[in-house]
Amino acid sequence: MVKAANATTHAQRRREAAQKRGKQRRQQRLLIRIGAIAAVILVAVGVWWFALLDASDTASGQALFQFDTADFHSLAFDPVQSDTIYFGHHGGLKVSDDGGVSWNDTELQNVDAMQLAMPIADPERRYAAGHDVFYVSSDGGVSWESQASDLPGTDLHSFTASPSDAMRLYASPAGQGLFTSADGGATWQPITAPPLAQDGMGMFALAVDPTDPLHIYAGGGNGMAESRDGGASWQPRSAPSGGVVSLALAPDEPLTFYAGTDQGLWKQSGDGAWERLPLEVSGAILALAANPIEPQQVALVDQEGQFYRSDDGGQTWTES
């Protein structure tokens, strides 16, 4: 009986030992699986993190060019050559033929090119306006002439031209209200100014609908407004956060708005919501332009003179 009991106990111990070894092997296999899964997760997280950092760098962007001019006023894409961009500053006009990578002086020098307009309806006719400046080119910017007019002053803080009617202009002499011209700037008629300027000097951004010369948009420290009757009346319009410093319209369908503010760059398609674009700039966006030939291309200059260009509607920014 003792032998039988001992045999039973010995067999039970063998079973228990085998079960213990099996449990240990299962635990080891489980730990190996967990370790493998953890390694895969770590690799995936690492890849995602580096991709996110790379995407963030691309989105935030590096300046394509750094201007060293005394100030930074205006930008305009050439209405014929999609890679040609103009930059206006206190000392004249510069041009880039490679999308903003390098810049050269033009024939227009020693004038304050505060505002530029290059209507696609007549690519030969171009305008530059600013502090006691109103110049017109009739040969695509090869030469420029001072334009005589009956405006009450030529300290033009705000100025634009209709893309679809090169002779329809809008201008705001400092402290004199808003005027329009239907003959390329020879004669002007007063219209109602949008209630947007904070300093009483008529400083507000202007842009005209690409297909309607009487449909005007304005932005300033108090938001945005639009007029559908050439400035006879104005209605409030939705605006992004911050004071609007610069405006540009891309001829998309629906129309795409870009607004440069003291809180970054914003975009709106049609009557949709304003979206802040992923670009960190220095201070306010002083100059802004959309390409009339390539609707997804937009460029800007910030308060520190840094030039940026996007070829995909502002989602990513080209680097040198």
- The answer on 250 and 209 residing in a single domain is yes
- The answer on 86 and 9 residing in a single domain is no
- The answer on 273 and 213 residing in a single domain is yes
- Cα–Cα dist 115/311, whole Å: 23
Q: Provide the residue range defining the domain that includes 197.
A: 64-310
CA-nearest of 281, 309, 285, 286 to 297 is: 309
- The answer on 82 and 207 residing in a single domain is yes
- The answer on 219 and 244 residing in a single domain is yes
Q: Is 319 a domain residue? A: no
Q: Is 87 a domain residue? A: yes
- Output the six-digit token pair for 182: 């239907």
- The answer on 183 and 250 residing in a single domain is yes
**b/e per residue 211-249 (b: at least 16 CB within 10 A):** eebbbbbbbbbbbbbbbeebbeebeebebbebbbbbbbb
Q: Per-residue pLDDT for the chain (320 aa), expressed as one digit of tens each?
A: 444 444 455 556 555 555 565 566 566 655 556 555 554 344 343 433 333 334 444 445 689 999 999 999 999 999 999 999 999 999 999 999 999 999 999 999 999 999 999 999 999 999 999 999 999 999 999 999 999 999 999 899 899 999 999 999 999 998 899 999 999 999 999 999 998 754 445 579 999 999 999 999 999 988 999 999 999 999 999 999 989 999 999 988 889 999 999 999 999 998 889 999 999 999 999 999 999 999 999 999 999 999 999 999 999 999 86
Q: How many domains does the chain have?
A: 2
